[in-house]
Structure 1
């Protein structure tokens, strides 16, 4: 796959090599319209079968061509009906209602490395980015022993980065099957789940990209996280019906946490008295900033993958992909970050994936930036926000602006600049974040620094 991808990109550059060299344009890395025209003239789009009429594709209102492209770029099944199967009569379920469950304790203990009393996977109803019925899967890890504190056992909602386009990139995949080549080391470093279990907390890990694997789409992720909390409270009311829940997430997990706290007042207002706080770091709160920091450089593989994945929920993005982008999407549609991040070595700007000039300054891009920024939505729960002061991929400006926004609306919030770029900051910011969350779960009130 990587060889084919390289050949496609190299072929486009080589075929354009004899044309006039591109000149920089205002607000652009360079004027790539000539190369875009070359791609359009020389690279035919892939031949695609007609879109099947399935809820996963949901082709209502799309042209036949766009519906076929959307269907072709959806993640493949993983031969696990618990994960793959679209539930019948899904719209008849309430958000957070459990549709199915299974015990995966034996396999999960091999991955967790900490003994568990039980590890349950819950499949539940949620909603997608357009408020249509959807589903998600979450894994609940319950440690051995009685909870030694007051009240019922608290739950750490560990929103992992996931960073994947395929369903085998989800944390539930490894927890149900054991460690494999698609397991993500960021699921275990920092060891949030293990430390929480040793503290006596249960841990809830949600596959927050949804069945379409909409990597980086905050509405899908926020809905899934909130409905996973509802699912646990619905499924095990005696043990967790009165529990405190606290969220934590870094990077891609911060996208899910950011979405959850901002959507809570309108989507799950009853959880405002249940979730006692949310800690989030390396916060991609503003994708417009990332368009400047991650495009056309070594991070471009991640940026392009996230743009494509958001397009799975928002097909107006897919509609403006050129033939090169369509071929690459078909090749990369099931890859995890360890593969698609490598394509950053080509430093391909997103212009080469679009069928029109300067796409990041288009009305389409501005609309996506506005929607995913989720402006004007106040968190009803206390926030601990941190970001690497030396960040260059996900600038601290986005996290600082998020903190200022929440303070201006009267939220209870704390912000920390921590040492390091994205990887180092995940470690340097973790101790204070997890201690802050531990205090909230033990019932200590949060002190705002706004």
Structure 2
């Protein structure tokens, strides 16, 4: 019980700190919005020839490394992480299966490299800008930059989630964080993030300095936007990359029912995800973009367009308590039933395909970003297809004022340690392979024995990363 009390105090302090940062930065965000007035054009990516595809890249095999470079990685875009790190530009595919390139950031603990495991950590990029992807934000910029065109809040989810990914480093594993948006920095695109993740695993194994052979035991992990990419990866893997030795995938709050998510998250602290999503789908589909604009007010079109200029933190803080009822000219159900809009959302929904690797899924029952009904449907679809699924439905206390607090953010923190312990078990030699579907409703996975076992590596990885200590050297 003392251990649980310490965890509770830690989470309480973390939550209070997050709220304080949000209040402070919201003032800056409001000031920026007031002074800019109108949406500006999407900023061009920073000039870096490393991201440029070689002339003959289309002839390369999927997952072939086209370029590589050593880099220094920083957690929270501030603290140097004491590991060996490289970035790999590799061949992958876009949503239509056509040749594309993207980048993964590979981190390896210093020391012996014998029989390492691999963790592919999918950050919740939730943006359509290169500067918001892991490869850029882990190596450039600051969490707050009053002079940046994309700021003032420039901290990315990738920069923050490096603290979770570092748990894998404490085990001596290699950790890769792919830019799963591809060369176009897409978000919510169907199929493509799965290809990017799987080809990123291939690229790491093809990269000689990693000393990770083919068939390296591998696990996937991601939350929210990272869960979307992870879920696409396990669905594509049986036909796209059946040779990969993926032992399991853990992901939380996978938003694979975007229509339900749009309704549920409206007028909440994270409602700024709505214009981000609408802008991202519009980037993929000119037809969607044109039809959506017919339903948006001028101010609504301006807000959606402005999301192209910022990463997720700034976009959310600039649009706290966004309410689509103020920006749609027709009721939301009419908009969602429009044939063009309905088709685009359905393409990003539940496919009916089941993974062949074991999966661990966690989701808050009072979740506002990934409503539990949508994740229930995803799990049922996987189970009907014969998948091995462990599903934790987190029954936290009801959210009495959803306009103030966020179940989505709480489960990100409380569900992480049990998810990591499940991953660790899957990567342990000789561990039994799960079978069947185990669906459990519990107060919180934070209170389970698995959570306590997984908490140590997360805390150790986070502290080592922020203090500049060697992480997982062995």
- TM interval, short-chain normalised: 0.7 to 0.9
Distance 1:7 1:112 in 2: 32
Structure-2 residue corresponding to 1:223: 195
Mapping of residues 341-380 of structure 1, within 5 Å: 341-345=316-320, 347-349=322-324, 352=327, 358-380=334-356
| Residue among 424, 433, 455 paired with 1:446 | 433
List aligned pairs for 1:96-111, cutoff 5 A.
96-105=63-72
Structure of higher CA gyration radius: 1
Query: Aligned-pair distance for 1:114?
Result: 4.2
Structure 2 counterpart of 1:14: none
1:101-123 CA deviation, whole Å, 9 max, x = no partner?
Answer: 1100376898565421x201001
Give per-residue Cα distances to partners, 1:139-167, cap 9 Å, x unaligned: 0101012257xxx2101111111122321
What residue in structure 2 maps to residue 146 of structure 1? 112
The question of 1:176 aligning with 2:139 is answered yes
Partner Cα distance (1:110, 1:330) in 2: 26
CA distance in 2, matches of 1:169, 1:191: 17
Q: 1:180-329 maps to which residues of 2 (within 5 A)? A: 180-181=143-144, 182-184=154-156, 187-189=159-161, 191-236=163-208, 238-271=211-244, 274-295=245-266, 298-322=269-293, 324=299, 326-329=301-304
| 8 Å Cα contact 2:137-2:159 kept in structure 1 | no
Deviation at 1:202, TM superposition (A): 0.6
Task: Give the whole-Å Cα distance in 2 for the aligned partners of 1:89 and 1:238.
Answer: 26
The answer (yes or no) to whether the contact 1:109–1:115 under 8 Å persists in 2 is no
TM-score w.r.t. the length of structure 1 is: 0.77
Which residue of structure 2 aligns with residue 30 of structure 1? none
Which TM-score applies when normalising by structure 2? Answer: 0.73
Larger RCO (alpha carbons 8 Å, 6+ apart) = 2
Question: Displacement, 1:282?
Answer: 1.5
Count of equivalent residues: 383
Distance 1:407 1:344, change over 3 A: same
Query: Which residue of structure 1 lines up, in the alignment, with residue 440 of structure 2?
Result: none
Cα 1:90–1:108 shift into 2, 3 Å: farther
Alignment check: 8 A CA contact 1:111 1:179 kept: yes
* Between 352-361 and 388-397, the greater mean CA deviation after superposition: 352-361
Matching of residue 334 in structure 1 with residue 309 in structure 2: yes
Cα 1:109–1:308, aligned 2, differ >3 Å: closer, same or farther?
Answer: closer
**What secondary structure does 1:78 align onto?**
coil
Q: Unaligned stretches of 5+ in structure 2?
A: 1-28, 145-153, 397-406, 438-474
Partner of 2:55: 88
SS in 1 for 2:200: helix
Q: How many Å separate the matches in 2 of 1:108 and 1:297?
A: 28
Gaps of 5+ in 1: 12-45, 47-71
Cα distance change, pair 75–310 in 1 and its aligned pair in 2 (3 A) = farther
RMSD after superposition: 3.0
